Amino acid sequence: MIISAPSGAGKTTLCRELLKRFPGMRESISYTTRQPRNGEVHGRDYYFVSHEEFQGMIAEDAFAEWAEVHGNLYGTALKTLEEARKNGVDLVLDIDCQGARKLKEQFAGGSYIFILPPSVAELRRRLESRSSDAPDVIERRIERAAEEIREARWYDYIIINDRFESAFEELSAIVIAHSRLTFRMLGQVAKLFDI
């Protein structure tokens, strides 16, 4: 599951609840050059690295995708995807549009889901209520949201996060449907019916 949204749309909260409901899924932990926010832990929320370390990983082709977002670098390690595929683990990737597009162009499979806030006014309210960003940062995030929302057209699914419970049920339904895709079920069918 590749999940993207403008900052403040509720993507991270939805992803955390998804992992609780589907314990067999794992979160893909991204690398970033940004500073941790209050309560964030290295290795749980992100791998917080220096700009130099991140650039070294780029030079080593260690990322499946990476992008600059709001002045910071974010990336998904190629080894994370390879290990998940090898072990048959479904990952939840909470990434921006740039990274999602790179993954879709380079790798087969996955469901691409875009989370929208119900309105720009509500997005602004959510960003301001977090009290983690300066007013100029919030304005940049609002401007960027318009660009990101235009990207929603190439995602497989769009969920409007007006009411969290409804948005979460829609997201859960997509996960269940994805797990029942024919190519994912063929091994189980062959065992059940000895074919």
Which pLDDT tens digit goes with each residue over 93-131? Answer: 999 898 999 999 988 888 999 999 999 999 989 888 887
- CATH architecture of residue range(s) 2-193: 3-Layer(aba) Sandwich (3.40)
Which pLDDT tens digit goes with each residue over 8-49? Answer: 899 989 999 999 999 989 999 999 999 998 889 999 989 999
Give me the sign of the Cα torsion angle 117, 17, 38, 27: negative
Q: Does 70 have pLDDT greater than 80? A: no
- Burial of residue 66 (CB within 10 Å: 0-12, 13-18, 19+) is buried
Q: Where are the domains of the chain?
A: 2-193
**By three-state DSSP, how is residue 31 classified?**
strand
**How far, in Å, CA of 74 to CA of 78, rounded?**
13
